[in-house]
Structure 1
């Protein structure tokens, strides 16, 4: 297999898995065992490609939020709240992620390069998703459907993003969506949109940080920018399709199918790659 084809496949895998609750980081770490290890810049950049797809999907919402700061008075609302208030909560979630992310980075945390931790995270994450779905449904039945994002939800979503990054296999989208649902934003559409919008500045900031960190280093000089560009475009295109599908799917279905997928994949990895810890 050529390096360019391998990069294309990695971009497709990233685009499909970044926003589905099945862990893109876990899938990439596993895929790299057969397709070749890539630099941190490569992995972060193709994640940014997936985020670009979300920017395109939510471009009207993003313009609405930006416009809210240009107009002192507006009657428009975002899930029952003023756009400016909603934007401030997005900032709070991103700020929480940024601060905790820097702390984790300074602690020298590195993602595991063995399969076993990822496999266990996939399996345990499946159980967590089923439990979270159950309690989120009970919570929604008790208090009714609420689409408003509170400050508590915003902070917890920020924390969840960092936790998902620390434990590959957890899934950032699953962690943030279910945290929002359990913390009080019981409307699935509202919880999902907030989780995805927070991911935009988070992943773009992570990409900028990595670029700044390696600028002028031998790693940057040896980066294959053609392969990175191919993977970036592939990630953006497939993520656009995946997110569009997911937004339609969750309107009428639960996340159970993703939990089952995690059980199957995690179990298969533990059986096929035994003894790797």
Structure 2
């Protein structure tokens, strides 16, 4: 398969899986491994997230603009922005401190498969727990809850765990209903993914070639299109169906990945 076509396929997968609790990085690493796709400094897998970021910004632009305009006079708007920053902080600190270890050690297809399976089982259990829903609006969580969700997000430093999966499970365990948990995962994705993009670009821009950049642009465009589709439909879906289908998908992909690694290496 031509490398440009591989980049488009991986970008499409990134956009489809970024906001689902199935681990976009895990899927990219597994598919890239079996395709033989190698990116310089493993930057491609992170930098194409810009497409998913822009997709969610375009969908939520109206709400983000309203929040920005309300900041000077609305204490609820200020508290929500503070909550997002509190949730973002733990991953920002740990991600910067462990950047080399995460890419050098944890970007391992065997670990990804195990994380997918374990995460799927956790998602199945949490989706069936009789949890108390104290929050029904993503902008109305307590500051303590926002920070707690941020701590859960740190689990996603392990590829295969899923950033959205960790934040959604964390929010549900801390009292959010399924819809508000998924929606806050969208809001938290913006600074988290933008920060990861900027940090990875800073670390790798000197070693990226023109060919690398063309692959990243192709992956970015594909990620934007597919992420736009997911963001517009996910909240209504999980409100009616929960997260069980995604949990089983994780388990099946993880098991298939282990089988593939055992047979083909």
TM-score after normalising by structure 1: 0.86
Offset of residue 272 of structure 1: 2.8
Match of 2:252 in 1: 264
Partner SS, residue 39 of structure 2: coil
Which residue, out of 151, 157, 160, partners 2:152? 160
Match of 1:198 in 2: 188
Q: Distance in 2 between matches of 1:213 and 1:11?
A: 21
Q: 1:5 to 1:191 in 2, by over 3 A?
A: same
Cα RMSD for the two superposed structures: 2.2
Match of 1:24 in 2: 24
Q: Distance in 2 between matches of 1:249 and 1:57?
A: 17
Offset of residue 190 of structure 1: 2.0
Match of 2:70 in 1: 68
Q: Distance in 1 between matches of 2:169 and 2:97?
A: 24
Offset of residue 4 of structure 1: 1.1
Match of 1:103 in 2: 97
Q: Distance in 2 between matches of 1:103 and 1:245?
A: 35
* Structure 1 unmatched runs, 5+: 75-80
- Given that 1:164 and 1:172 are in contact with CA atoms closer than 8 Å, whether structure 2 keeps it comes out as yes
Q: Is residue 171 of structure 1 aligned with residue 159 of structure 2?
A: no
Match of 2:262 in 1: 274
Match of 1:36 in 2: 37
Offset of residue 125 of structure 1: 0.8
Offset of residue 109 of structure 1: 5.7
Q: Distance in 1 between matches of 2:232 and 2:182?
A: 12
* Structure 2 unmatched runs, 5+: none
- Given that 2:10 and 2:219 are in contact with CA atoms closer than 8 Å, whether structure 1 keeps it comes out as yes
Q: Distance in 2 between matches of 1:82 and 1:113?
A: 39
Offset of residue 179 of structure 1: 0.3
- Given that 2:21 and 2:165 are in contact with CA atoms closer than 8 Å, whether structure 1 keeps it comes out as yes
Q: Distance in 2 between matches of 1:53 and 1:8?
A: 16
- Given that 2:135 and 2:180 are in contact with CA atoms closer than 8 Å, whether structure 1 keeps it comes out as no
TM-score after normalising by structure 2: 0.90
Q: Distance in 2 between matches of 1:245 and 1:5?
A: 26
Q: Is residue 134 of structure 1 aligned with residue 128 of structure 2?
A: yes
Q: Distance in 2 between matches of 1:246 and 1:14?
A: 15
| Structure that is richer in helix per residue | 2
Match of 1:50 in 2: 52
- Given that 1:116 and 1:276 are in contact with CA atoms closer than 8 Å, whether structure 2 keeps it comes out as no
Q: 1:35 to 1:54 in 2, by over 3 A?
A: farther
Q: Is residue 2 of structure 1 aligned with residue 2 of structure 2?
A: yes
Q: Is residue 225 of structure 1 aligned with residue 219 of structure 2?
A: no
Structure 1, 37-46 or 191-200: larger mean CA deviation: 37-46
- Given that 2:135 and 2:141 are in contact with CA atoms closer than 8 Å, whether structure 1 keeps it comes out as no
Q: Is residue 247 of structure 1 aligned with residue 235 of structure 2?
A: yes
- Given that 1:32 and 1:38 are in contact with CA atoms closer than 8 Å, whether structure 2 keeps it comes out as no
